[in-house]
Amino acid sequence: MIVRKALIRHGRRLAHSPRQWTRSLATETDLHDLQDTTEAIDSSLSNATLQTKSIESQAEKSGVQYVPQIDARTQMSQQLLGDGTKYVYDRHRRQQKLQNPLGTTVDKGYQPHRLLTDPPRPSDITLELLLASQAHLGHKTSHWNPANSRYIFGIRQGIHIISLDVTAAHLRRACRVVSSVAERGGLILFVGTRPGQDRCVVTAATMAGGCHLFDRWTPGSITNGDQILRSCRKQVVDEFDREVPEQGAALKDASALKPDLVVCMNPIENWVMLHECGMHGVPTIGIIDTDANPTWVTYPIPANDDSLRCVQVIAGALGRAGQEGQANRREAALAGEVTYRPNRPKRIADRMNASPRAVEAATGLANTGDSGMGPAADGVANRSRNSEVDKNLGYHRAELAS
Amino acid sequence: MASKGSFTGIFSPSYCPKCYHQLSRVPRRSIQTTAKRTAIAAPPIDLDSLPPIDPSKGRIVPASPSYFTARPDSTDHFLQLQTLLRRHQTLPTISAAQAPRVAWRTLVQYRLLIGEPVRAAKYHRILEILQRLNRIHPNAVPKDLKETLEVFKRDVDPFAVIRPPAIIDEDGKTYGVGRRKESSAKVYLVQGEGNVLINGKSLNAAFGRIHDRESALWALKATSRLDKYNVWALVKGGGTTGQAEAITLGAAKALMAFEPALKPALRRAGCVSRDPRRVERKKPGKAKARKMPAWVKRSATTGDEAHKLMKQSRDKVPKAAAKRRKDGLVPAWVGTNHLTGTGVRSIDVLAALMD
């Protein structure tokens, strides 16, 4: 009983141990040698069974009665397994699938979730879209920042109305900036710390291959990054975004990363971050409402930052722009072109500068031909035949792409 | 031929190992599962393959998109769970009371797991999603979800502990163990006509207080089973109240073995849970656990008066003792009082205070 209980209690840990029980089936065991052992185990097992049975029979003879505990929770869970909910649910889903195509097709109007699942592209930016997403609504006139006067169309019912043609122009320019930075392998950070902005920020960052921040900017993440981001992992990737595994140790010397571009959805709350970006020369894009200071950001987008729909449209368009940039970069990489300045860890870079051949020997890799680094080094001899094939295939593919 | 006992493996007994009788020919099956590659031709050309990794074209990027949150792993966990919840939102659910009991990792265990100083509020956010995911109907739980939830469960599951069943032996008796304060009681119960023996004494002899007599048999009295069972109890430790209430708990447990259906009634009578209260420890600076010393305007142990008295007592060191100390017969630290800091015996100070 003790063994059984221990198994129940620690079962999960055992089940997740790296040694699978199926491995015992895969071993090549010579049964000739094992014969004596198995016989011994068999006899001991049968002995144990006999003993248990005799004890049990004695116990039964003496009239001992076992009274199990009444456990309402266990009973309930047993009932749940047989209550047929799964069957009903599956039938419902099947019916839905069958019946959805039937009948009239309703024209899809505004569906709020579409801004997150399928955000608009930069080419989709129109004045109608911006107007529908309430990008033109500013703040009460008394709250204005006069630096925004060139973005303001007029006053209606006591609030400033933002000029949407300016908004569209600035948004398109910002999209170009994001796209170009992504194309050059830059690190883009999307920030939106107001409640409800998290999902659009994460979606945009995923599309643009950048980073996201939806909780709180830790002050000093740029100015004191070596302390604050000390424990956050970095990695070295090549032009196809594959990890270069040999350089893990060299990364420890590298200082904390700084974004190459910051996109901020609510600059008013994040002035600390914008200040740090300004001090370190990191360009910024921000949604500037009529009460914000447009000089805080490098590329302002005059729009309503209090409307979630407007923020989702802008974040989505910028994310899509980043996606285009990444796609361009990958295309160039396939054509054998590196669109960024390689940013190697210091130790590797030093060795590269010292002697190219030394690095080739150290990393076990030869030059790939297009760098024109002379004849193959000693490392080539050690490389397998397959990788030679791969290398040649890579060029083959590059030719195809071009 | 195979000698006796050379059994060629469980899959291919061509001869019976006991009687040498030749069995029907069974094709020999190999247990070997590792495939040996005998082909020497190169693999087919894959036109979509990329060139080998070139370290000279490397650039440093964050390992996680949550890099700038300064707590990337916990943020990634949160986003992963949020995505899972969004995907499985429409699956049928059960009420929280029906959901399987799960011991999630505590905040400290979670911090140790991922090695980040996660804030309690952030972990609470994760726990809320986990509890919602745990409420998905057990028949409809997808496999990927099950695997993800395992990460957040404790290594050792405390809810898997199952109590052994109570036993009624061949004489028709059973027992329960009850504890209260410092006392512990082992109470045997057998069907009978209401006889009670506690440590070999009658109930009246064992407990002088009527209240204790009543509370000892409260489990039987509350369920009106006083005349149905005989009680024989061994109780030790603690005082009378503790012993009486320890017997209550033990009797209730034994009674539940005979009649499991009485559990709700016994719980309403307050006989099922062990009372966890113990004597509270005494604290320094207090007379008892919480009692403050009485306030005195000029306390003899702290105020000016005490200094005066101690100074007097220092002058009152017996001459003989001083001489012995001076002669080096007694080490200086003997009888040193930490209050005065000199070689003054505490008894002298006390004597001076008494004066």
ipTM: 0.72
| Beta-carbon contacts below 8 Å between A and B | 232
* Domain edges within chain A: 114-222+258-334, 345-401
Express as a percent the part of chain A with pLDDT over 90.
55
Asked if A9 and B157 come within 8 Å (Cβ–Cβ), the reply is yes
User: What is the pairing mode between strands A159-162 and A261-264?
Assistant: unpaired
Mean pLDDT over A67-91 rounds to 82
Residue range(s) occupied by CATH 3.30.230.10 in chain B: 173-268
First CA to last CA distance, chain B: 112
CA-CA distance, A244 to A241, in Å (whole number)? 9
Of the listed ranges A325-329, A394-398, B198-202, the least confidently predicted one is A394-398
For residue A262, pLDDT over 80 is answered with yes
Binning chain B into helix, strand and coil, the percentages to the nearest 5 are 35, 10, 50
Of the listed ranges A266-275, A280-289, A367-376, the least confidently predicted one is A367-376
Higher pLDDT, B33 or B1: B33
For residue A39, pLDDT over 90 is answered with no
For residue A383, pLDDT over 80 is answered with no
Mean pLDDT over A5-23 rounds to 59
Length of chain A: 402
CA-CA distance, A77 to A84, in Å (whole number)? 13
Stated as kind and residue range, the H or E segment containing A189 is strand A188-191
pLDDT at A349: 56
Which residue in A26, A80, A202 is closest to B33 by CB distance?
A: A26
Residue A299, helix vs strand vs coil:
strand
User: Which of these, A184, A206, A203, A189, lies nearest to A330 by C-alpha position?
Assistant: A184
Stated as kind and residue range, the H or E segment containing B4 is none
Of the listed ranges A39-48, A200-209, A278-287, the least confidently predicted one is A39-48
How far is the alpha carbon of A172 from chain B, nearest alpha carbon, in Å?
25
* Complete DSSP assignment for B251-306: HHHHHHHH-GGGHHHHHHTT-SS-----PPPP-TTSSSSSPPPPP-TT-TTTSHHH
User: Which of these, A163, A120, A173, A164, lies nearest to A314 by C-alpha position?
Assistant: A120
What residues of B are in contact with residue A255 (Cβ under 8 Å)? none
For residue A208, pLDDT over 90 is answered with yes
Higher pLDDT, A141 or B58: A141
Task: Kindly report the backbone phi and psi dihedral angles of residue B179, in degrees, each rounded to the nearest multiple of 5, phi listed first.
Answer: -135, 150
pLDDT at B340: 46
Q: Is B176 left (phi over 0), alpha (psi -120 to 50) or beta?
A: beta
The distance between the two most distant Cα atoms of chain A, rounded to a whole number of Å, is 99
pLDDT at B82: 97
Higher pLDDT, B238 or B316: B238
B105 contacts: CB under 8 Å, gap ≥ 6: B113, B152, B153, B154
Which residue in B42, B94, B161 is closest to A9 by CB distance?
A: B161
Mutate to test the interface with B, among A4, A24, A31, A338 (most CBs of B within 10 A): A31
Which residue in A70, A259, A393 is closest to B49 by CB distance?
A: A393
Mean pLDDT over B295-306 rounds to 68
Asked if A394 and B51 come within 8 Å (Cβ–Cβ), the reply is yes
Q: What residue ranges in chain B does DSSP mark as E strands?
A: 59-62, 166-168, 173-180, 183-191, 196-198, 229-236
CA-CA distance, A286 to A318, in Å (whole number)? 11
Q: For residue A301, give the DSSP letter.
A: E
Chain segment B15-48, per-residue pLDDT in tens? 555 555 555 555 555 555 555 556 788 877 777 7
What residues of A are in contact with residue B92 (Cβ under 8 Å)? 85-86, 88-89
Q: For residue B228, give the DSSP letter.
A: T
How far is the alpha carbon of B246 from chain A, nearest alpha carbon, in Å?
21
Residue B316's pLDDT band (boundaries 50, 70, 90)?
low
* Complete DSSP assignment for B133-178: HHTB-TTT--HHHHHHHHHHB-SS-GGG--PPPEEE-TTSEEEEEE
For residue A388, pLDDT over 50 is answered with no
Chain segment A91-101, per-residue pLDDT in tens? 999 999 999 88
Structure-block tokens of residue A335: 């054509």
How far is the alpha carbon of A271 from chain B, nearest alpha carbon, in Å?
16
Residue A4, helix vs strand vs coil:
helix
Residue A300's pLDDT band (boundaries 50, 70, 90)?
very high
Average pLDDT, chain B: 83
CATH 3.40.50.10490 fits A114-222+258-334, yes or no: yes
Which of A63-67, A110-114, A377-381 tops mean pLDDT?
A110-114
Asked if B58 and A352 come within 8 Å (Cβ–Cβ), the reply is no
Sheet holding B229-236, edge to edge: B173-180, B183-191, B229-236, B196-198
For residue B5, pLDDT over 70 is answered with no
User: Which CATH number is B173-268 given?
Assistant: 3.30.230.10
How far is the alpha carbon of B203 from chain A, nearest alpha carbon, in Å?
29
Asked if B101 and A29 come within 8 Å (Cβ–Cβ), the reply is no
For residue A47, pLDDT over 80 is answered with no
Chain segment A319-369, per-residue pLDDT in tens? 999 999 999 999 999 998 889 888 655 555 565 555 544 444 444 333 333
For residue A21, pLDDT over 70 is answered with no
How far is the alpha carbon of A106 from chain B, nearest alpha carbon, in Å?
23
Average pLDDT, chain A: 81
For residue A266, pLDDT over 70 is answered with yes
What residues of B are in contact with residue A37 (Cβ under 8 Å)? none
How far is the alpha carbon of B256 from chain A, nearest alpha carbon, in Å?
9
Asked if A394 and B49 come within 8 Å (Cβ–Cβ), the reply is yes
What residues of B are in contact with residue A246 (Cβ under 8 Å)? 55
pLDDT at A391: 44
How far is the alpha carbon of B61 from chain A, nearest alpha carbon, in Å?
6
pLDDT at B12: 45
Residue A292's pLDDT band (boundaries 50, 70, 90)?
very high
Higher pLDDT, A77 or B60: B60
Residue B232's pLDDT band (boundaries 50, 70, 90)?
very high
What residues of B are in contact with residue A393 (Cβ under 8 Å)? 45-47, 49, 51
Nearest CA in chain B to A27: B32
Structure-block tokens of residue A188: 């883009």
pLDDT at A398: 43
Residue A165's pLDDT band (boundaries 50, 70, 90)?
very high
Which residue in A80, A89, A400 is closest to B94 by CB distance?
A: A80
